[in-house]
Amino acid sequence: MSAAEYKHILRIAGKDIDGSRKIIVALSMVKGIGHNLAQVLLQSLKINPNIRLGFLTDKELADIESAIRDPARLGMPDWYLNRRKDVETGSNRHLITSDLDFMISNDIEREKSVMSWRGYRHMFGLRVRGQCTRTTGRKGGAVGVKKLARPTAGGPPGAPAPAAGGTQPAASAAATPAKVKDTPSKESEKK
């Protein structure tokens, strides 16, 4: 292929991808397509996975686009698809890009609305799939004993500290004597 036919940027499934990338890596940049699925797609379309994306012909790009939209058409097993036995339709589908994000958020909202245990875990931002949470997943605010503000010099213990940015007036700071411990000097000890 000549340099004139090389494409520097290609659009696959609504994503702009650099033409200098290998095709298997470029396909896995599309959300919803992993390395394994990209490899199976290219094998079934009989396209070399090691060539650069910019050297593909328009026919090969069209074949890849149609295969991404409906991988089951190529005879791919159902367990490669990411939406098996859909709740609404009951069919096996493969979702990519924003469709995948939209469907995941709908699933989470449905679990929250029926008050399932998974919905509760999602609501409170906790781990959903049975992971241990004693030592990991400690994000967010701390839950525990609230620390009291340090008492001021002139106030009773437990009194609130002065407002932020507020300092003691110079007169009251000067009026508060500094406590000096009386220690006998070494000369008085000798006597």
Counting the structural domains of the chain, the total is 1
The pLDDT of residue 114 is 92
Nearest-angstrom CA–CA distance, 9 and 175: 75
If pLDDT is split at 50, 70 and 90, which confidence band does 187 have?
Answer: low
Residue 89 forms part of a structural domain: no
Average pLDDT, whole number, for the chain?
Answer: 79
CA angle 5, 70, 65 (to 5 degrees): 10
For residues 10 and 191, which has the higher predicted lDDT (pLDDT)?
A: 10
The pLDDT of residue 4 is 60
Residue 20 forms part of a structural domain: yes
pLDDT digits (tens, 9 = 90+) for 101-125: 888 888 899 999 998 999 988 888 8
Nearest-angstrom CA–CA distance, 153 and 175: 12
Residue 177 forms part of a structural domain: no
- Give the tokens for residue 6: 């090389």
What percent of the chain is modeled with pLDDT above 70?
A: 74
Span 22-30, average pLDDT: 89
Q: CATH number of the domain that 61 lies in?
A: 1.10.8.50
pLDDT digits (tens, 9 = 90+) for 124-183: 888 889 888 888 877 766 656 777 888 777 666 666 666 665 555 555 555 555 665 666
Residue 96 forms part of a structural domain: no
Nearest-angstrom CA–CA distance, 96 and 61: 17
What's the domain range around 25? Answer: 3-79
Residue 166 forms part of a structural domain: no
